A and B are shown apart, each in its own frame.
Chain A
Amino acid sequence: MQINQQFNPSKGSWQCARCRTPLEPGHVALNYLENSFRVGVLVCPRCRQALIPEDMATGKMLEVEKLLEDK
């Protein structure tokens, strides 16, 4: 499975706010309205907390949410 680099922040060294561990590229499942989407993002190797960049949250993640919510 390819990790989608465009979901990673453009710069900076990120660490987990909870356990202070440096984040690493990984995968998480986004679950919404009975659907599940596996995406590549930075995750904490210890607690699995993930960083969702703002452009992802306000971009295609929002677009998918609207489609699932329907009209």
Chain B
Amino acid sequence: MDQNEHTQSLCPICLNRIPARRVLDGSSVYLEKQCPVHGDFSTVIWRGEPAFSKWKRPKWPSRPPVCKTEINAGCPFDCGLCPDHAQHTCTTLVEVTRRCNLNCPVCFAKSGNEVVDPDLNTIREQILSIRQSAGACTLQISGGEPTVRDDLPEIVSFAAGQGFALVQLNTNGLRFAEEPQYAETLEQAGLESVFLQFDAVCDPPYERLRGRPLWEKKKQAVTALARAGIGVVLVPTLVPGVNTEEAGAIIRFALSRHPAVRGVHFQPVSYFGRYPHTPADEDRLTLPELMCAIELQTQGLICTADFMPPGCEHALCSFHAAFQVTESGMLKRVGGGCCNTAPIEAAAGARQNVLLTGQRWRHPPAGTQLKINETDDLDRFLYETRTRSFTVSAMVFQDAWSLDLERLRGCCIHVSAPDGRLIPFCAYNITASEGQPLYRRINGQKPLTAQSKMAP
């Protein structure tokens, strides 16, 4: 990076929009910004190799096909999506409850305290609205903890009938562990994939992050989901000083439960919703640090060079690699060989992401067999990709300190607000340092964007 890159952000105290810069210092990059009222802020966003300057995936902006809001106060105060948004939707979250059967010290949704759920008809209308606005994207049923609703099978069944590319459930897995038939019930309702909170392969990190030892429960949940034929993606929240040393062991556990476990999707901790204290730079795990940790902790089974920046969301938001698991248990890299670095159309990246995510995160169909007399190398490759696919990926969310509005405009992960607007995930969850939410209504607290006084 020859000179600082200019972008925009928010003040983490008042949430007013302010200019920001990405500043290179050695091999680290910091997001620096200055609020005229609250002073200077600096947050690390990149540390080490691969070099920040090489991690690019340029895209031509694609306006959302349906915009439910107009440009008024400007990004990020007009989300709905607004016509200035630069990417289509690849995944939409529908939050079916704010209740939770855990009370985690770290929770981006700050769930657990509200008792009234939206009724089934309201959820159905919300799902129909998503299908109309976002198209045949991946639908992720989320919360709170969705399994606390006893009518979840009805919600899944309705969603499965609407032609989404993939219907996925975001869960801590407790109910799957405790009720042996529950996974079968949801599979029969049409559930194809589960995003399973999975922070470690031992108890201490769960005690720190979730308030309870959960390792046995997690194993039981994976077993139940595998038996039911539901694809499982393990989703660790990685917190420095708590469980960043678990990354390799989690990948090895995932491989031991392949093909039911389709991959691992890491989420370095972000500081919104409920978290213990204002973050310092040492409280953050950047994407290159995680790539290097995976290489080190898997003894090179997976290498930093295997990972690619995304073709869907902004390059600074994630990395991914797809593999085939060989019969000897090794990993063979699939894809990623494209040498064309010219900008792509953002919407084309979103379409490709929806297609591949649906293929890779489903459980392979039971009894799938390759018919030997009808096959060639293309058939064999497609068969092996479906049955032996394994992905390792990570997404780092933005909080009030790390928010970069260029990244936000390129976001493809959207939350369906109760009024039908689609809000980029990070914007929906951002809270100011004192807890003021930008979009999400938390414990009756009015979000900033619902107040009459709007930031410039």
Contact = CB atoms under 8 A, between A and B. Distances in A.
A10 to B, nearest CB: 16
Interface string A2-27: 10101100000000000000000000
Given A61-B378, A67-B335, A69-B335, 4 more contacts: A4-B374, A68-B337, A71-B310, A71-B353
B382 A60 contact: yes
Interface of B: 308, 310-312, 320, 322, 334-338, 349, 352-353, 355-357, 359, 373-379, 381-382, 385
13 contacts: A2-B375, A4-B374, A4-B379, A30-B378, A35-B381, A37-B377, A64-B382, A66-B352, A67-B335, A67-B382, A70-B335, A71-B311, A71-B353
A63 interface: yes
Given A2-B373, A33-B337, A34-B337, A69 B352 contact: yes
B249 to A, nearest CB: 26
A50 interface: no
A51 to B, nearest CB: 15
Interface of A: 2, 4, 6-7, 30, 33-40, 60-61, 63-64, 66-71
Contacts of A64: 378, 381-382
B312 A4 contact: no
Contacts of B337: 33-35, 68-69
B352 A40 contact: no
Nearest to A38: B377
Q: Which of A34, A66, A67 has the most CB of B within 10 A?
A: A67
B374 A70 contact: no
A66 B349 CA distance: 11
B388 to A, nearest CB: 12
B377 A66 contact: no
Given A37-B381, A64-B382, A66-B355, A71 B374 contact: no
Q: Give 8 nearest A-B pairs by CB, closest first.
A: A70-B335, A33-B337, A37-B377, A39-B376, A71-B353, A4-B376, A70-B336, A71-B356
